[in-house]
Amino acid sequence: MATKILVTGGTGYIGSHTTVELQNAGYEVVIVDNLSNSNIKVLDGIEAITGIRPAFEEVDCTDMTALKAVFDKYPGIKAIINFAASKAVGESVQKPLLYYRNNLTTLINLLELMPQYGVEGFVFSSSCTVYGQPEVLPVTEDTPRQTATSPYGNTKKICEDIITDAVHADAPFKAILLRYFNPIGAHPSAKIGELPLGVPQNLIPFVTQTAAGIREQLSVFGNDYNTPDGSCIRDYINVVDLAKAHVVAVERMLTGKSLENVEVFNVGTGRGLSVLEIVDTFQKVTGVKLNYKIVGRREGDIEQVWADPTKANNVLGWKAEASVEDTLLSAWRWQESLAK
């Protein structure tokens, strides 16, 4: 009988790609999502790729009663991968209470239910934002966490502490915190990809929508940072590579390979690219000219950060493989598929 995994926020961008990789690895997936920033049609894409339609419950994870009903309906859940969270840096500065309510309440509800239902492992989607603006680059898992530059980043930092404290208090489960860098791209089938509702908050969907003529112009926030071309630098990781890290993390916990009850891994490529480099590379691989302009800096953005993924490579047994060129091309193919 297949091992059952609960994926919260599973119709979202990273959640849907992770569901595909879990199903390809033989796991049975139950998705819960309130569809606040995703579309139910994503299930069709997952089914088209894997041949399996995951179980789905439209549930808001801040609703404890509804969440408990999911565990009652699907007994035997062995691990949870938690993607259910509000995730835009800029929006979090404008709506901090929304972010604290959504992200913290969801986590606490899940952690409270896990011991009641015998759930053994918890994978948390954390973020490189917990490092703030590091003094030394690239960042390792031992790089000190800094005061967050946005409420979004602060919720990730607080959630990490809540998980660590819960496990330290003899909670009967293990946890792995995956600190993402910047996920981009789409599944190579172009059946699923990043599908933000309304105006995109992330760079790549804004790039692809501008290229497709949906957005008039791409804004590059600042060209006066202390970087080679003045624009912010990030570690852009292919979303399928990132999804595979979750599968490895689940396997690690459920097969007793975890060295500690709470483990932390940076999930990145180890390479920093600037916003303007991304724009230039996108234009080269697609042949599409982008209409963009330099505007003022955006509150909450840090100047530059990229990962040292050595620990994930050596201990977790995971490595980013896709090139940025192939990744940007996959994002464009996904955008083109939406117009069909």
Q: Which residues are catalytic?
A: 152
Give phi and psi for 55, each to the nearest 5: -60, 140
Q: Find, among 219, 327, 317, the residue nearest to 271 by Cα.
A: 327
Who's near 221: CB < 8 A, 6+ residues apart?
232, 275, 295, 296, 297, 298, 301
The 10 Å Cβ neighbour count of residue 248 is: 19
**Facing residues of 233 across strands?**
274, 304
Q: Which helix (H) or strand (E) holds 205?
A: helix 203-211
Tokens 């598929």 belong to residue: 337
Angle at 184 between CA 54 and CA 18, to 5 degrees: 20
User: Residue type for 30, please?
Assistant: V
The values of phi and psi at residue 267, to 5°, are -115, 95
* Residue entry with tokens 């050595």: 310
Q: Quick one: which H or E segment has residue 99? A: helix 96-116
DSSP conformation class of 320: -
- Inter-residue long-range contacts of 105-110, CB under 8 Å, 24+ positions, other chains counted: 105/61, 105/62, 106/8, 106/61, 106/62, 106/82, 107/82, 107/159, 107/162, 107/163, 108/162, 109/61, 109/62, 109/64, 109/67, 110/8, 110/61, 110/67, 110/80, 110/82
- With beta carbons less than 8 A apart as the criterion, state whether 237 and 320 touch: yes
